[in-house]
A and B are shown apart, each in its own frame.
Chain A
Amino acid sequence: MSEPKKVDRRKFIYAGLGAVALIAIGAAAYVAMNPPVVTQTVTTSTTVPTTSVVTTTVPTTSVVTTTVPTTSVVTTTTEILPPIPDYSLAKIDWKQFKGTNINLISHSAPQTEYMKKRAPEFEELTGIKVTFDLYAEKEYSDKVVIAAQSASGMYDVLAVLPAYSATFVMQKWVDPVYKYIENPKLCDQRWYNLPDFYDSALSYGRFDPSTNTFGVGQQHMIPAPGYLETLPVLYYRKDILSELGLKVPQTFDELEEECRIIKERKSNIVPFVTRGCRMAGTWNIPLAMIGCYGGNFFDQEWYPILNRPEAIEAVTKYVSLMRNYGPPGAAMYDYTKAMELFKSGGAAFYLDTGNYYGVLTDPATSQVANNVGVAEIPAGPKGRKVNFLQWSLAIDPNSKNKEAAWLFIQWVTSAKFAYELMAAGKGPSPRKSTYNERVIQDKWGDFINVVAASGKYSQILPLSLIAGKTQDIFSSYTSAAIDGQITAEEACRRANKEIYDAMKAAGYYDKPPKYGTYNNGGNVIPHSPDWTP
């Protein structure tokens, strides 16, 4: 009886040992598989010298060409590039990193999906294969921070959220792109035409390490195509305004007055909607309004000035518009809910990002497509201010294929690609040249005028190293004010105090100053000696 049992147990143990052995062999095989990867990188690094040999031969030919130009200098200078030059006109060797693979992380959006769709053309041009890792925005934003923080070099190209821009460049999570732009082997500056970008868009990638100032200095990241976000613009329903005999409001007071009329005469329509919830980029709306009322988020020395009269007046107007004329539960409205409401015909005015123009005017996605008008942000007592938001593309400093990554960034942020992306209706270009094209003017209509006008009074977000926290604090209080828990003035004062504490803890008031002065391109408010938190 006990005999077979014994054998069973032994067999069992042997089977277990066998399994362990299999795992061990598997692990050994896996470890053994790694060296080929290493040798692969070795071979790529050996191919780099060979290409550099090729490039050294290129210079010899370019020596020939330079000798030719010296005689025909006139021909090269008179050779005028078209406003939107083709990729083939760039005087660089697109094929110099042939056979490289690069990885890109971004969120999934019409723009990035379009880039992914076009990537095979880039591969054909350069022989570089681009793998896209696209996630939902929330997932992406957690992942990209972890990827940058872990310094793994897992990704070569990073898409950087506007709100993260300061953090990424100041923490040195990106390899400065100016090095690549200045390298004639990697960038044809005349063809690439950096000044063609809107200045506010470029600011998101600028950093001056000597004074530790974000927004000025050398270019560390490049504006991503299709991502120039004018925030906010005013969408309105043409049919409702003409039915009630109203004009497009030019000031916030006019807007409020028209909302009152709409509320009285059309009870089934929500007069006004915008973002009101905590987070989700809500601060963009009151920030622009504070600008229109002559204020700013920080003074020149990074002290929050939300407790000054102009900020309180602006936030009071914002809260009153949302509380009195907004949808029920306005304190929980993020951009999706607000857009859904407007798209389904439920609202008359909608203050939000210019990026939605395409969606709102597309009959396939919007019930009011033919009746949507777009206008500049209404003016406050001190004129207009609007936020330009800009996603950027950056190179991971731990990437092993930085030059190849740069070639991709150069291709995808070129005037040609920005134009094609906008012509395909995927998003507004950060390059001025795009807006002169007939195709774009026909397709985007009024929107172009709004962006062009906004470019004259644009500012960027108040991005400190702790921008995420300041945004959370500010929007949690404005959301509470819309909800009715506190008044707008209380919201401003309490947010101001809390933001001051957070900025202090982050070392913004250290002596000697750790960071350069604050300048977001908006109203410049000097630090007052009688400032109080």
Chain B
Amino acid sequence: MIKVLKKSSHIIFFLPALIFLFVGIAYPIVWSINNSFYQWIIGGNPIFVGLKNYYDIFFGILSKDFWYSVYITVILTLLTVALQLTIGMGIALLIYDRTQNKIIRSIFLLPMVIPPVVSGTIWGNFIYNPSYGILNYLLSFFGVAPQLWTYSSQQALPSVIVILVWQWTPFVVLLLSAGLESLPKAPMEAAVIDGASSWQIFWYVKVPLLKPVILAVTVLRLMDTLRAFDIIISTTLGGPGRATEILNIMTYLTAFVHFNMGVASALGTILFTISLAAVIIMLYILRER
């Protein structure tokens, strides 16, 4: 008996993780994919309609909203991740080799520890507010006319991107600076002896060596930004009009405002597929040759 247990003990220890994976991840995904084939308004009985929800989303009555949301999502994700990586790399290069970097690093980490809903509320209500926000007040000293920020459709998307960059760049800095510190010194010394400029050292030595870290950071940020929800819901709720309605917000509104679970599940499945595809493409592009 004990022998059997001994041999199968690893299964017993795996069990909690397996149960969690199944209950917490696999089951909801399968359930949600299953729901997406039903016409189901909350409270009514689900009616099987096959691919109708997908047809409506891609070509039918919801297509205009859907493609608009896709467009907003793509713009928001690409700009945010690109900015986070560029700024994050710059800051990481500045701080990674300094002696006092522990203190500096902790300071840089501060935005990351604020819950996104809180930072969204603070930015939306106290920093961006055109009437009594701090930003317009500070800019007035430089003679800048009051701007509308998240309160107008033209500026809402860039303003939201600024919050996202502010909140999550520290995360990029943290990983990149750790990556930079762990790089071997020899190739860089060799490059210096060969007379390479500091830009050449960065581009031809450090970046290739850092590739795995950059890949990991990009994938993480990409997935997170595609799902950016808390900051938008707490600042603009997808508005003004539909200016910041990314796919996630559209899914939320469909499920909890329009009560349309079938379409919301289909949207969720699409978003899931898009994230998955994006990650696979990234992995392919940045793979180790």
A394 → chain B closest CB, angstroms = 14
Q: Are B41 and A476 in contact (CB under 8 A)?
A: no
A531 → chain B closest CB, angstroms = 19
Q: Are B12 and A480 in contact (CB under 8 A)?
A: no
Q: Are B257 and A468 in contact (CB under 8 A)?
A: yes
**Chain A contact patch, size range:** 35 or more
Most buried by A among B238, B256, B258: B258
Most buried by A among B61, B148, B150, B240: B240
Nearest residue, chain A, Cβ from B261: A149
Q: Are A142 and B151 in contact (CB under 8 A)?
A: no
- Is A17 interfacial (CB 8 A cutoff)? yes
Inter-chain contacts of A485 with B (CB < 8 A):
153, 240-241, 243
- Is A477 interfacial (CB 8 A cutoff)? yes
Most buried by B among A17, A171, A277, A331: A331
Cβ-neighbour of A13 out of B6, B43, B257, B260 (below 8 A): B6
Nearest residue, chain B, Cβ from A273: B131
Q: Are A278 and B9 in contact (CB under 8 A)?
A: no
Q: Are A332 and B43 in contact (CB under 8 A)?
A: no
Q: Are A468 and B151 in contact (CB under 8 A)?
A: no
Nearest residue, chain B, Cβ from A328: B130
Nearest residue, chain A, Cβ from B44: A171
Within B17-67, the residues touching A (CB, 8 Å) are: 41-44, 61
A479 with B241, Cβ < 8 A, contacts A16-B13, A145-B259, A472-B253 known: yes
A278 with B257, Cβ < 8 A, contacts A16-B13, A346-B131 known: no
A173 with B241, Cβ < 8 A, contacts A167-B259, A329-B130, A468-B258 known: no
- Is B107 interfacial (CB 8 A cutoff)? no
Q: Are A278 and B238 in contact (CB under 8 A)?
A: yes
Interface string of A255-275 (1 = CB under 8 A from B): 000000000000000100000
Within A466-505, the residues touching B (CB, 8 Å) are: 466, 468-469, 471-472, 476-477, 479-480, 482-486, 501, 505
Q: Are A16 and B9 in contact (CB under 8 A)?
A: yes
Inter-chain contacts of A471 with B (CB < 8 A):
257
Per the bound structure, the CA–CA distance linking A280 and B146 in Å amounts to 26
Per the bound structure, the CA–CA distance linking A167 and B41 in Å amounts to 10
Q: Are B41 and A483 in contact (CB under 8 A)?
A: no
Q: Are A332 and B61 in contact (CB under 8 A)?
A: no
A332 with B239, Cβ < 8 A, contacts A466-B259, A501-B61 known: yes
Interface string of B227-256 (1 = CB under 8 A from A): 000000000111111110000000001001
Could you count the A-B residue pairs with CB atoms below 8 Å apart for me: how many are there? 117
A497 → chain B closest CB, angstroms = 10
Q: Are B42 and A476 in contact (CB under 8 A)?
A: no
Inter-chain contacts of A277 with B (CB < 8 A):
237, 239-240
A480 with B153, Cβ < 8 A, contacts A171-B43, A466-B259 known: yes
Nearest residue, chain B, Cβ from A475: B239
Inter-chain contacts of B241 with A (CB < 8 A):
278, 331, 476-477, 479-480, 483, 485-486
Per the bound structure, the CA–CA distance linking A501 and B152 in Å amounts to 28
Nearest residue, chain B, Cβ from A486: B241
Inter-chain contacts of B285 with A (CB < 8 A):
none
Within B136-163, the residues touching A (CB, 8 Å) are: 146, 148-153
Within A1-45, the residues touching B (CB, 8 Å) are: 13, 16-17, 20
Within B178-218, the residues touching A (CB, 8 Å) are: none
A266 → chain B closest CB, angstroms = 15
Cβ-neighbour of A341 out of B5, B131, B148 (below 8 A): B131
Per the bound structure, the CA–CA distance linking A388 and B118 in Å amounts to 34
Q: Are A329 and B152 in contact (CB under 8 A)?
A: yes
Q: Are A466 and B258 in contact (CB under 8 A)?
A: yes
Per the bound structure, the CA–CA distance linking A84 and B101 in Å amounts to 72
Per the bound structure, the CA–CA distance linking A389 and B125 in Å amounts to 27
Per the bound structure, the CA–CA distance linking A328 and B150 in Å amounts to 11
Q: Are A331 and B151 in contact (CB under 8 A)?
A: yes
Per the bound structure, the CA–CA distance linking A472 and B150 in Å amounts to 19
Cβ-neighbour of A332 out of B44, B132, B151 (below 8 A): B151
- Is A506 interfacial (CB 8 A cutoff)? yes
Inter-chain contacts of A465 with B (CB < 8 A):
41
Give the number of chain B interface residues (Cβ < 8 Å): 36
A467 → chain B closest CB, angstroms = 9
Per the bound structure, the CA–CA distance linking A337 and B126 in Å amounts to 11
Cβ-neighbour of A328 out of B44, B125, B131, B260 (below 8 A): B131
- Is A225 interfacial (CB 8 A cutoff)? no
Most buried by A among B125, B239, B256: B239
Per the bound structure, the CA–CA distance linking A329 and B6 in Å amounts to 68
Inter-chain contacts of B6 with A (CB < 8 A):
13
Per the bound structure, the CA–CA distance linking A330 and B241 in Å amounts to 12
Nearest residue, chain B, Cβ from A506: B41
Nearest residue, chain A, Cβ from B39: A505
A476 with B61, Cβ < 8 A, contacts A167-B259, A327-B131, A329-B130 known: no
Q: Are A479 and B12 in contact (CB under 8 A)?
A: no
- Is A279 interfacial (CB 8 A cutoff)? yes
A483 with B152, Cβ < 8 A, contacts A171-B43, A277-B240, A469-B258 known: yes
Q: Are B242 and A476 in contact (CB under 8 A)?
A: yes
Q: Are A329 and B148 in contact (CB under 8 A)?
A: yes
Q: Are A278 and B237 in contact (CB under 8 A)?
A: yes
Nearest residue, chain A, Cβ from B259: A468
Inter-chain contacts of B242 with A (CB < 8 A):
278, 476, 480
Nearest residue, chain B, Cβ from A332: B151
Per the bound structure, the CA–CA distance linking A277 and B149 in Å amounts to 14
Per the bound structure, the CA–CA distance linking A145 and B239 in Å amounts to 24
Inter-chain contacts of A170 with B (CB < 8 A):
43
Per the bound structure, the CA–CA distance linking A486 and B242 in Å amounts to 12
Per the bound structure, the CA–CA distance linking A477 and B100 in Å amounts to 53
A13 with B130, Cβ < 8 A, contacts A479-B239, A485-B241 known: no
Cβ-neighbour of B240 out of A145, A149, A328, A331 (below 8 A): A331
A359 → chain B closest CB, angstroms = 18
Per the bound structure, the CA–CA distance linking A505 and B129 in Å amounts to 39
Cβ-neighbour of B257 out of A279, A341, A486, A505 (below 8 A): A279
Nearest residue, chain B, Cβ from A346: B131
A332 with B260, Cβ < 8 A, contacts A13-B9, A16-B9, A341-B131 known: no
Q: Are A17 and B5 in contact (CB under 8 A)?
A: yes
Other than the given A327-B131, A328-B131, 11 more pairs (CB < 8 A) read A13-B5, A13-B9, A145-B256, A277-B237, A278-B237, A329-B129, A331-B239, A466-B259, A468-B258, A479-B240, A479-B241
A-B contact pairs, 24 of them (CB 8 A): A13-B5, A17-B5, A20-B12, A145-B259, A149-B42, A167-B259, A171-B42, A270-B131, A279-B237, A279-B239, A327-B130, A329-B129, A331-B153, A332-B240, A466-B258, A468-B259, A469-B258, A469-B259, A472-B257, A482-B240, A485-B153, A485-B243, A505-B61, A506-B41
Which 9 A-B pairs give the minimum distances between C-beta atoms? A329-B151, A480-B241, A171-B43, A469-B258, A331-B240, A328-B130, A278-B239, A332-B151, A483-B240
